[in-house]
Structure 1
Amino acid sequence: MIDSIPEGKELSPSTIEFADTSFHKLMPRRIHKVLLICSSYDAFILEEDGRIEEQIFKEYVSLNLRYPPNFYKVSSGQEALERLKTESFDLIISMLNIGEMDIFSLSHTFKELDPDTPIVVLTHFSREVSMKMEKEDLSAIDYVFCWLGNADLLLAIIKLIEDKMNADNDLLDIGVQAIILVEDSVRYYSSYLPNLYKVVLNQSRNFVREAVNEQQQNLRMRGRPKILLATTYDEAMELYDKYKNNLLGVVSDVSFKVNHRRDSKTRAGITLCKVIRREDPYMPFIFQSSDLNNKSVAEDLGAGFIHKYSKTLSHELIEYVREYFFFGSFKFVDPVTKTVIYEAHNLKTLCEALMNIPDESLYYHASHNHLSKWLFARALFPIAELFKSLQATDFADMGALREYVSRAINQYRLETGRGVIGKFNRNDYNEQLQISRIGEGSLGGKARGLAFIDMMLKKYNLFNKYEGVVINIPRSTIISTEFFDQFMEENKLYKYARTEETDAKILKRFIRAKLPNELVEDLRVFIRNVKNPIAVRSSSKLEDSYYQPFAGIYSTYMIPRVEDDEECLHMLVQAIKSVYASVFYASSRGYIFATSNVLDEEKMGVVLQEVCGTRHENLYYPTFSGVARSINFYPLGVESSHDGVASVAFGLGKFIVDGGMTMRFSPKHPKHLLQLSTPQMALRDTQRMFYALDLDPAAFTISTDDGVNLQRLEIDTKSNYEGMQHVASFYDSRDDMVRDYYQPSGWRIISFAQILKYGTFPLAEILNELLALCQKEMNSPIEIEFAVNFDVEPGQPKVFNFLQIRPIVENEEMEDLQIGQMSSDDALLYSNSALGHGVMEGIRSVVYVRPEAFDSAYTRQIAEDLEKINKTYKDKGEYYVLVGPGRWGSSDPWLGIPVKWPQISEARLIVECGLQNFRVDPSQGSHFFQNITSFRVGYFTINPFMDDGKFDVSILDSLPATFENKYIREVVLEKPLTIIVDGRNNRGIVNL
């Protein structure tokens, strides 16, 4: 074991913020136009043998660069001069022999025409050529290379010059790394550079696989290490002094000139190594020399050595660079024997290695800065910079170091996976990705909303903004719409689905069909990496679009996570096929037709999402769920319509979207709670049941009811469900008071008082910020769904899961409607709580539930009767006004008439009319309500018995009915009604 490490400072990765690397700012200067001066023979060799433009094109495509350089060939110096007088070029490459004109003299003329254009000379090398070169004035020549007909050299030349042009920006500003090559022999650096670029580009192609999607891969390719060439000691030191904080290592000759003005060579390479090692003892350094005696010197300095006369020189150079500069996998070694004990190929396996290698190996690599070198070589600059500054002595022991490094890597992986949609890879699953996609087709509306949320959270750095809370989206995998098409076509389902079979028969046929094998294999890997229950949500192309959000039309199933992966996979496959089937249910078809869409154009994506919550025996649910809107169509008291409104409930969110009784509040006024204004109101309007997922797999059966495996649990005086203590108060009957603290027995009031009144959780602050930012970014009022879980591991933050976002369709701005100038005395209907804006014309019919005959026990029958009436209007292409008691669209028949939207789709004004013993506040948290607003349907809430609005039912009763039964009357008038809704002042009126 290693000696104990001195007690160090406290370091915690939870406080680290990793800035995004600006890969898009890399390589701003490029070589686009190259003037090539060569004979016809050399041009032929390049075209036919070297295929230089083809190679350059391939390399640029791999870097996702649009415009590879174009080569413009001329065959003489005179022709080159003529082109340069009328055109500009980024690079001039010339052969040594170009006819009558001498390239060395001509180069000075070129520089006079354009001083910034680099000039490169290619020449075959011989003793005679070398002697000639030594006598020439090369001051106008940027580089001379030995040309042996290998087109790889031209690629290396272009990369070398681009690296030099962009070095300051990419290395100093962004953090890209570099390799310095020190060599004065034209022959050798002409051989080394193509090999160095080959290994660097291969390294880049390998490390980009860890990027989460193709866009990140293409951008990270730009972060490849650069190669900088020096031919003298002075040039090498200048490069080192400038870029020493961004160096992967140095490859150097042993003997070369100190500067260009000196004639004799010295053993400057050894001096260079010693100077660098004094500042950085662990800087990788590789010598290459023609003198084998220098090998022992290199070993004494702890450097690598390559013999220039070796028959495998190129191979040895590549292998040394890979090893010394930490290209390829990270090899953890035993510090004594240097044998490899663990090999890491990516960040995931690096974390696994860190938790398993011996302390001695970890100490060796950490103290030699190997981790940061390996990360730098893979363009992982933020995490590499963090590790570069660490010392083993910063930690009390090796366990602390191990924990810190692994947690920092995991946090970095998590952050790089945020704000992007990663590609699901079954062979290399990235469990840190927040959103991944299976397939290349459309994501669907709901999935697009999730991706937008993830981007928003990252853009505004909201994840950890609130102390003790993490704001996130649940880990989600999206199945794109292409698999829906494949599923439908392979199983020949389109023709069957168009027939108007019952929902049950459609579902049964879809369940018998087979999902594509490729998708099933991906799902098998997905299951192995999921620990929590899974929500299988619809994400169709039409869902949550701006003008016709299909809120709650399609199915969402939840399945438990059981130990048997194959059993879990079976349930998942069944749930996906059930979601697919829901596209063709009668209610879905009715909705599609009502929105003037075509059934064949609808495509279904699926979102697989880990359910927010905690297991409590055989139940699974979050502490509470909620829906919030940035616009409040029913502001109360001090609230305004722009303050927003939220509805929250204990347990799963299905209770809210189905229209159950929830706690309603404005995030701007969280203590203004109408439902708690009196004990009697609190008792009457409190939540009396909640939903939880049944974790027994036997509870999941095939059904058109997507809540088939959800338990509907009563909240009564004996209820003591885990988590309720955070949201409940109790009613003290002795003092007739609601006490704002929890008691295990007695009358439960789901009040959220501890959160909203006393701020035990910053719910209002979070919602205020999210609603404002999302409305700003979407340029539209919005609705969000969320879930919050308090039951987390000790020391871990509470979880706020942002589940969904959709735009709210606002009514058009119209001229002011002067309802105030109209008398309500003669009105058929009048409301001071109206939703909508504008004048509705051409409506002659009123369908109303007879107040005197209304019976809550028969609300389901009333819904069925209304569906039949609605169909007649649909067939005629006409609209009507609908009036009835209680809450329209509630899933609880005791709160109102439990209609689905297709059952009343032709109503253009819907009125909730309270009765003396049947008053229910409207729900703005239900999917039904969202559809009301998206279709721009007028919506009145009136309670005439409280002098809140008016419904003169006697007028309708006096008119003949076109339809009448025990509960419903339909009246058709001779002239259209006058219907005006002033949404800005929340008033509405209907006159005969």
Structure 2
Amino acid sequence: MMNTENINQLYLKDTTFANLMQKRIFNVLLIASRYDAFMLEEDGRVDEQIFFEYVSLNLSSPPRVIQVNDFDAAFYELSSKRYDLVITMPGMEKSDAFEKCKEIKTLYPDIPIVVLTPFSREVSQRISNEDLSGIDYVFSWLGNADLLLAIIKLIEDKMNAQEDINQVGVQMILLVEDSIRFYSSILPHLYKFVLNQSKIFSTEALNEHEQMLRMRGRPKIKLARTYEEAIEIYNRYSNNVLGIISDVSFKREGVKDPQAGIRFCSYIRERDEFLPLIIESSEPENQKLALKLNACFLDKNSKKLPVDLGSTILRNFGFGDFEFINPQTGEVLYTVRNLKDLQNTIMSVPDESLYYHGSRNHISRWLYSRAMFPIAELLRRKQFTDISESQAMRQLIFDAIVQYRKMKNRGVVAIFKRDRFDKYSNFARIGQGSLGGKGRGLAFIDSLIKRHPILENYNGVSVTVPKTVVLCTDIFDEFMQSNNLYHVALSDIPDEQILQYFLRARLPDYLIDDFLTFFDVVKRPIAIRSSSLLEDSHYQPFAGIYSTYMIPYLEDKYEMLRMLSDAIKGVYASVFYADSKAYMTATSNVIDQEKMAIILQEVVGTQYDDRFYPSFSGVGRSLNYYPINDEKPEEGVVDLAVGLGKYIVDGGRSLRFSPKHPRNILQTSTLDLALSDTQTRFYALDLKNMQENFSVDDSFNLLKLHIREAEKDNSLRLMVSTFDPYDQIIRDGYYEGGRKVVTFANILQHDAFPLADLLSMMLEFGSTEMGRHVEIEFAGTLPNEENKRGMLYWLQIRPIVDTEEMRDDEVTDVPDEESLLKSNSALGHGIMDDLYHVVYVKTKNFRASNNMLIAREIEKINRKFTDRGENYILIGPGRWGSSDTALGIPVKWPHISSARLIVESALSNYRIEPSQGTHFFQNLTSFGVGYFTVNSFMNDGFYDENFLDRCEAIEETEFLRVVRFDRPVIVKINGKKNIGIVMKPVIGETK
């Protein structure tokens, strides 16, 4: 029996349907007299008839038909334009049509030529005497437009057979028939049948685009008109034959052989015991010979031959529903309509039935006919030779379907269908509009993982996207319009009032059943995240501007439905909050251009009593603005923390490391740093908080807990070290007693989980495929009862926007007396020469306890700059944007949106590590805002605050001063060397 590794290698290669049917017929030249063409058209244009045939069968690219009345015009057309097929209708009178066709073939050997004649005995007689060396096929016109479609498809199949059948595994149906009258009648029925079947199985595709492409996987039809041609086609494609339909009497060795079909089918039976054969003959005595060959027999004289042929193919060639039967009685035990049905049924099928079908390749043939090549190929290769293998075969089929469905779901934005969405579904959309920025990012991640299979199994750990359903932007439009909300949303009323209006509005009713299906499949808490059109777009990321809510998983589905609906409305409302409007103004966007998609996503993590959180979350960037020691900027940087990622977003103390240097961590390099500068708190989702009314604050049901609480949950084991107060040492690993320090030592130093390698690959693949540096968000669960190896979930990707052309100006050695600021940890690149204002926090009598008040003053001052359309340099102590006021001033991005250079300065009594991972960090880099860290007390950089104190202030508050200069303050940043400088203005008075 094959082991799992072999199975994966065998069939987890997806079929690229877009690569099938590469050679197509686009232009057809019809050479016919006006009368013959009229007979063909029946007063409508041939183009239209073909077009409607294509449309009815869901086919793309119908060919154009150009009609000419004689061969002179035909030669002119062929010389002036490219044609893929020539159809000629020679008149009844003695004509030189066949000679002319030979001329065309000599000049254009690659263009197939088809003769189309009215059907009559005289015509047949005449054709049998003609030289057909310039003709590919002769057909009889029986008044049915389907024949044109069949001719085009037969020739396309011939053009593509070699590539599609041998390279991909597309199946072939072989028709062996030499009667022009008969194959002209039967081919249109055969194509109509196969195309309609492929239309049915294509609905298993996950979206409309995939559906169209999937139809290219339909079986090819090949026509053989002699014994030798039939043998040659069979031998060439014997591994991919779905079934054979053969006449009995046709030419063998140049002479009509009344038993050629029986000889041919005998040849096949010696090589394949179970290949479906249909023998058709106008002589009933051939039925006995057919039965001896275990073939079906059809009477050519039957009035309902096309119907009989269709039902025989349906029963024997693997089309239609699959019926598991009792081989003794013929009783149908199970009827399987699609792959999901097969997955649900296979474990219940009795051994005898499974052996009967499996040993005869019935199951693989059914899968082949539905274009599921990788899984069909696997089952056909596994020879099922003994009933004792039934259980192993059953498991193989089940595992193969699971792997196949996972593979097909990966990288595809499926249309959400309640009967299809299950635990193997990954990513679906409800609605027809845009997925929004984050939604597109997630879809991109999903397809990226598919292109890099190493991420799906690296040392036993998989990288994946959590189960996701996106409500597209058209649902936002429908919600806003049907509830008449724009006049409220665009007004200046407070955020709380806007939210109340939105909560009272109704979402479309048709979403209810979709949501209930999503709950049943996910069975976990759900994050409701914004995905606006402008969010995470390449040049103006709106990171962290809109709300994200989380709701618990509840047994009471209708209570869960209420919470989900309120959360969606809350995210919609956040588009129109005051901060969002200020941000729109700062980015020169118009608020009513913003449209919101919503991401519904399973929350990564584990439940611990009444709280839920992941083992760890983090943010990674492929460009490291603060490289230390051997690190290089392009090796990237990661911030990692226990619990929900909001902790990092809010600027909490996370663990910072370069994924290429996971053992080189500044924060754990000394005992003091490890105890003072590692994570002490974490966020978890409160599963008990069923607040009746949602709040503007999207974190109302999140718990900010001390890390000791996680220790009680027994969730810290691989992520902490233990401080031994007696020996004054930190030991890697979890030991009873002693303070637990979040160092991730077992993961980063001792490879208990391959996190650093995976993050390194994610950053590398992400930045390569996006063509620019990226920021990613991730979360993970370490090995536990549910998942023995753990999982890494990739939550988001967005570009870090860099100026396209990096200036190569060096930051020269400017003496301190000419400098206002110098930094050796400078973020950004280039020269700013249009800044006249400096806003700075007065450090005299500075107290961290005033940081909230300072933030409010800055917000007011920033609003004035925004109103005037001016920018400034902002200088202050500690971490900008930290939600922990002990670490810095807790501003949000809209409060400092007009600053072009932001400086973190340290004081002798207030030294904080440089900030990493605050949410507006992304916005700073996106808008080309410079960022300096200055710690002049440690000889790291320089800041001449005394110079500013001597300048006259145009505005001064309790904590801030605003200085304006006549001449610009020049800022130079060399991003490659991470150094930056702010020059004092050229001599001139201050205002």
Whether the TM-score (by the shorter chain) exceeds 0.5 is yes
Distance 1:848 1:582 in 2: 31
Partner of 2:532: 540
Query: Is this contact kept in 1: 2:467–2:522, CA < 8 A?
Result: no
Partner of 2:759: 767
Partner of 1:4: none
Query: Is this contact kept in 1: 2:878–2:905, CA < 8 A?
Result: yes
Distance 2:118 2:635 in 1: 78
User: Structure 1 residue 689: deviation in Å?
Assistant: 0.8
The one of 421, 427, 433 equivalent to 1:441 is 433
1:204 aligns with 2:206: no
Distance 1:150 1:860 in 2: 82
The one-character-per-residue Cα deviations of 1:643-684 (angstroms, maximum 9, x if unpaired) are 211110011111111110000111121111111111111110
Query: Is this contact kept in 2: 1:37–1:98, CA < 8 A?
Result: no
Partner of 1:262: 255
User: Structure 1 residue 135: deviation in Å?
Assistant: 4.2
SS in 2 for 1:918: coil
Sort the Cα spacing of 1:364 and 1:324 in 2 relative to 1 into closer, same or farther, 3 A. Answer: same
Partner of 2:523: 531
Moved more, 151-160 or 709-718: 709-718
User: Structure 1 residue 731: deviation in Å?
Assistant: 0.8
Partner of 1:398: 390
The one of 34, 37, 44 equivalent to 1:40 is 34
Partner of 1:252: 246
Partner of 1:388: 380
1:660 aligns with 2:652: yes
Sort the Cα spacing of 1:295 and 1:49 in 2 relative to 1 into closer, same or farther, 3 A. Answer: farther
Matches within 5 A, 1:871-890: 871-890=863-882
1:160 aligns with 2:157: no
**Structure 1: which amino acid aligns with 2:167?**
D
Query: Is this contact kept in 1: 2:807–2:829, CA < 8 A?
Result: no
Distance 1:552 1:215 in 2: 33
1:24 aligns with 2:18: yes
**Structure 2: which amino acid aligns with 1:836?**
G
Moved more, 311-320 or 695-704: 695-704
Distance 2:83 2:494 in 1: 71
1:867 aligns with 2:859: yes
Partner of 1:3: none
Partner of 1:308: 300
Query: Is this contact kept in 2: 1:64–1:219, CA < 8 A?
Result: no
1:894 aligns with 2:886: yes
Query: Is this contact kept in 1: 2:11–2:378, CA < 8 A?
Result: no
**Structure 2: which amino acid aligns with 1:444?**
G
The one of 370, 395, 403 equivalent to 2:362 is 370
Sort the Cα spacing of 1:980 and 1:129 in 2 relative to 1 into closer, same or farther, 3 A. Answer: closer
User: Structure 1 residue 920: deviation in Å?
Assistant: 1.4
SS in 1 for 2:889: coil
1:326 aligns with 2:318: yes
Consecutive unaligned residues in structure 1, runs of 5 or more: 1-7
Distance 2:865 2:169 in 1: 68
Sort the Cα spacing of 1:134 and 1:728 in 2 relative to 1 into closer, same or farther, 3 A. Answer: same
Sort the Cα spacing of 1:546 and 1:509 in 2 relative to 1 into closer, same or farther, 3 A. Answer: same
Distance 1:407 1:394 in 2: 20
Query: Is this contact kept in 1: 2:479–2:508, CA < 8 A?
Result: yes
Distance 1:828 1:585 in 2: 38
Distance 1:116 1:546 in 2: 47
Partner of 2:746: 754
SS in 2 for 1:847: strand
Sort the Cα spacing of 1:416 and 1:435 in 2 relative to 1 into closer, same or farther, 3 A. Answer: same
1:622 aligns with 2:611: no
The one of 579, 591, 594 equivalent to 1:599 is 591
Moved more, 195-204 or 79-88: 79-88
Sort the Cα spacing of 1:667 and 1:89 in 2 relative to 1 into closer, same or farther, 3 A. Answer: closer
User: Structure 1 residue 986: deviation in Å?
Assistant: 2.5
Query: Is this contact kept in 2: 1:870–1:906, CA < 8 A?
Result: yes
Q: State percent identity of aligned pairs.
A: 51
User: Structure 1 residue 892: deviation in Å?
Assistant: 1.3
Distance 2:93 2:675 in 1: 102
Matches within 5 A, 1:547-562: 547-562=539-554
The one-character-per-residue Cα deviations of 1:78-112 (angstroms, maximum 9, x if unpaired) are 76567667777443333353434154555444444
**Structure 2: which amino acid aligns with 1:186?**
I
Moved more, 685-694 or 430-439: 430-439
**Structure 1: which amino acid aligns with 2:24?**
R
Query: Is this contact kept in 1: 2:46–2:65, CA < 8 A?
Result: no
SS in 1 for 2:397: helix
Sort the Cα spacing of 1:72 and 1:822 in 2 relative to 1 into closer, same or farther, 3 A. Answer: closer
SS in 1 for 2:148: helix
Partner of 1:242: 236
1:743 aligns with 2:735: yes
**Structure 2: which amino acid aligns with 1:577?**
K
1:171 aligns with 2:174: no
Query: Is this contact kept in 1: 2:422–2:521, CA < 8 A?
Result: no
Distance 2:404 2:398 in 1: 10
Distance 1:787 1:251 in 2: 57
Moved more, 748-757 or 127-136: 127-136
Distance 2:382 2:295 in 1: 24
Matches within 5 A, 1:111-510: 111-259=105-253, 261-263=254-256, 265-393=257-385, 397-429=389-421, 431-510=423-502
Sort the Cα spacing of 1:545 and 1:276 in 2 relative to 1 into closer, same or farther, 3 A. Answer: same
SS in 2 for 1:528: helix
User: Structure 1 residue 69: deviation in Å?
Assistant: 2.9
Partner of 1:54: 48
Sort the Cα spacing of 1:590 and 1:147 in 2 relative to 1 into closer, same or farther, 3 A. Answer: same
Consecutive unaligned residues in structure 2, runs of 5 or more: 986-991
Moved more, 489-498 or 565-574: 565-574
**Structure 1: which amino acid aligns with 2:894?**
P
**Structure 1: which amino acid aligns with 2:195?**
L
User: Structure 1 residue 462: deviation in Å?
Assistant: 3.1
Matches within 5 A, 1:608-757: 608-696=600-688, 698-699=690-691, 701-716=693-708, 719-757=711-749
**Structure 2: which amino acid aligns with 1:540?**
S
Matches within 5 A, 1:970-989: 970-973=962-965, 976-989=968-981
SS in 1 for 2:711: coil
Sort the Cα spacing of 1:32 and 1:940 in 2 relative to 1 into closer, same or farther, 3 A. Answer: closer
Partner of 2:989: none
Sort the Cα spacing of 1:89 and 1:343 in 2 relative to 1 into closer, same or farther, 3 A. Answer: same
TM-score of the superposition, structure 1-length normalised? 0.94
The one-character-per-residue Cα deviations of 1:869-889 (angstroms, maximum 9, x if unpaired) are 222333333333322222110
Sort the Cα spacing of 1:799 and 1:699 in 2 relative to 1 into closer, same or farther, 3 A. Answer: farther
User: Structure 1 residue 212: deviation in Å?
Assistant: 1.6
Query: Is this contact kept in 2: 1:62–1:218, CA < 8 A?
Result: no
Query: Is this contact kept in 2: 1:808–1:930, CA < 8 A?
Result: yes
Distance 2:974 2:140 in 1: 83
1:95 aligns with 2:89: yes
Sort the Cα spacing of 1:879 and 1:794 in 2 relative to 1 into closer, same or farther, 3 A. Answer: closer
The one-character-per-residue Cα deviations of 1:889-914 (angstroms, maximum 9, x if unpaired) are 01112211111111222222222222
The one-character-per-residue Cα deviations of 1:437-468 (angstroms, maximum 9, x if unpaired) are 22222221111111222222222223334111
Sort the Cα spacing of 1:947 and 1:478 in 2 relative to 1 into closer, same or farther, 3 A. Answer: same
Moved more, 214-223 or 704-713: 214-223
Query: Is this contact kept in 2: 1:449–1:804, CA < 8 A?
Result: yes
The one of 825, 830, 834 equivalent to 1:838 is 830
User: Structure 1 residue 374: deviation in Å?
Assistant: 0.9
Distance 2:864 2:70 in 1: 87
SS in 2 for 1:902: helix
SS in 1 for 2:920: helix
The one-character-per-residue Cα deviations of 1:410-439 (angstroms, maximum 9, x if unpaired) are 111111222222222335436534322222
Distance 1:874 1:89 in 2: 63
SS in 2 for 1:99: coil
Partner of 1:968: 960
The one of 910, 915, 931 equivalent to 2:907 is 915
Query: Is this contact kept in 2: 1:679–1:731, CA < 8 A?
Result: no
Partner of 1:950: 942
TM-score of the superposition, structure 2-length normalised? 0.94
Distance 2:864 2:74 in 1: 83
Q: How many residues align?
A: 983
Sort the Cα spacing of 1:545 and 1:794 in 2 relative to 1 into closer, same or farther, 3 A. Answer: closer
